Amino acid sequence: MANSSKVMQARIFAVATAVPEFVLRQTDVVARAAEIFAPDVPDFDRFAPVYANAGVATRYSCVPIEWYGQPHTFSERNDLYIENAVRLLERVVGALLDQSKLTAGDIDALVVVSTTGMATPSLDALLIERMAFRRDVERLPVFGLGCAGGVSGLARAAQLALSRPGARVMLLVVELCGLTFQANDTSKSNIISTALFGDGAAGALVQCGDPGAITGPAIVDWAEHTWPNSLDIMGWSIGEDGLGVLLSRDIPGFVRENLPAPATAFLERNGLTAADIDCHICHPGGAKVLDALEDVFGLAPGALVASRAVMRDYGNMSAATALFVLERTMSEAPAGRLLMSALGPGFTASFALLDAA
């Protein structure tokens, strides 16, 4: 799928992010988690290092911390998801339009990615009713990609832009991970998730055309790799009270052992090796996952500075997180080749090669 034409490359010319109003500090989360789990998990204290070593200081939530631990139906959770997802996406759209000096009517296609709730009509249709998008705007809602959705969503936006040079494609991603929290689930996966996940939204504007008129990193190529017999590694269980997180196996160990082959193959088809990448934009699934990614790409410990900073300040916001890292990276005006990567349910690795030369 490599694109060798310099003129016909899709470029990212704006990136924006947004978070909800409630701040969750890790110290407060630990205290709240102890209140919820300790009565039913006698050895809950053994999870203390999970919170301390998660690399997370602050997260954001669309509901106050008191909401967690109370009973909530699937319907209540999903109503909150739709209300808050649309509200956050409106802010992202506004920021993207302000950056680009465009109006909603200038947007030709919407790609909207989310996996933490359900909406039919989809979120893009709801946005069209609230904002001045054209009635003929193309719509592509994407569900089920989990943490890989930011990178794969960017790839889908690039495909749309390449299919219609000059069209302005808006990628929007929103994940409200906190709404999926299950207070009655004392599994290790659910407890660990309370140390990692937060809420957030992000977006990007992509267009294909004359590089002299469109500035920003070019999306050179993209790829996905789904491993066999890996469906149990990550995903959702769906019950009467909502979505429940599934985290199985040793994900950092899986990454070290299995990611090098598809990552190398992706780079090789573009005539590159890991040493040719000037900057990595990695989805921060967790501190140990970042350690594993640094090993895979031959980086020094702690080299994924932007990913670790986003993890510290926002936690893991599933698909939106990679775009937070992209925004932070672009703010520093990087040059050269940039590699975006993320891992999500399937179990799938998503890659995107950018050229910021």
All residues at 6 or more sequence positions from 122 whose CB lies less than 8 Å from its CB, including other chains: 112, 139, 141
Helix (H, G, I), strand (E, B) or coil at 317: coil
Residue of 62, 147, 208, 279 with catalytic role? 147
Strands (E), 155-241: 168-176, 199-208, 218-226, 234-239
Helix (H, G, I), strand (E, B) or coil at 291: helix
Cα 202–Cα 207–Cα 211 angle in degrees, nearest 5: 125
282 included as an active-site residue = no
Count of alpha carbons within 13 Å of 183, Cβ hemisphere only?
A: 15
Bridge partners (DSSP) listed for residue 203 = 16, 172
Count of alpha carbons within 13 Å of 237, Cβ hemisphere only?
A: 16
Give the integer Cα–Cα distance in Å for 305 and 312: 10
Helix (H, G, I), strand (E, B) or coil at 207: strand
Instruction: Tally Cβ neighbours within 10 Å of residue 298.
Output: 12
| Catalytic residue positions, numbered | 147
